[in-house]
Amino acid sequence: MERLKQTILAEGKVLSNTVLKVDAFLNHQIDPALMEEIGKEFADRFAAAGITKILTLESSGIAPAVMAGLVLKVPVVFARKRKSLTLTDHLYSAQVHSFTKQETNEISISQTFITQDDTVLIIDDFLANGQAVFGLIDILKQAKATIAGIGIVIEKSFQDGGKSIRNAGYRVESLARIAHLSDGNVTFLEEEN
């Protein structure tokens, strides 16, 4: 997705050979027009999949997921990283380790919102080691829901997550695939046809 790539080049900051900071438009301050385009792109790519729900992880996956849900006209469910007073019983939960934050969280959703009758699209902001996506897959397996695929805004293709998820048999659609981060520069992987 060309506009996303241009925004990454213009506003993203390479902090190391594994960390790309995109808080100017995706995961702190949000560019609504860009999120709208991202949502439309995911909706186009998964239009024929029969999606009934979208599942994401708080908080950075919410904006692109909501925009895709708006276009597909389906509800968006987000897994919570921290329990609240209202999210205590009848939960699907999984453990997710964040390499960026160096912490492990239990993510949870209410069993009320995803069932075995659902066909679910997972959307997340980043794919690096795949831990967040595998946590969401685990939750959907607990619910016995059908997994339509995974939509990723930015994939770090030089890390193992995308390969692991694809090797597990899941469809992954990434809008920007990064080949490497070095010397303060982002290099994109050529799109596969």
Query: What pLDDT digit, counting tens, does each position of 87-99 carry?
Result: 667 899 999 987 7
Domain boundaries, the chain: 2-188
Would you identify the CATH topology of the domain 2-188?
A: Rossmann fold (3.40.50)
Smallest CA-to-CA distance from 148 within 74, 66, 63 is with 74
The verdict on whether residue 156 carries a ligand-binding annotation is yes
The verdict on whether residue 132 carries a ligand-binding annotation is yes
The verdict on whether residue 129 carries a ligand-binding annotation is yes
The pLDDT of 164-174, averaged and rounded, is 98
Query: What pLDDT digit, counting tens, does each position of 32-81 carry?
Result: 999 999 999 999 999 999 999 999 998 899 999 999 999 999 999 999 98
Taking the model in full, what pTM does it have? 0.93
Tokens, residue 125: 């902001």
Q: What is the pLDDT of residue 192?
A: 40
Q: Where are the beta strands (DSSP E) in the chain?
A: 13-14, 20-21, 53-57, 76-79, 91-98, 103-110, 119-127, 146-156, 172-182, 185-188
Tokens, residue 150: 């995974």
Q: What is the pLDDT of residue 171?
A: 98
The verdict on whether residue 151 carries a ligand-binding annotation is no
Q: Are 36 and 1 in contact (CB under 8 A)?
A: no
Q: Are 9 and 145 in contact (CB under 8 A)?
A: no
Q: In this structure, what are the phi and psi dihedrals at residue 18, rounded to the nearest 5 degrees?
A: -130, -10
The verdict on whether residue 17 carries a ligand-binding annotation is no
The verdict on whether residue 47 carries a ligand-binding annotation is no
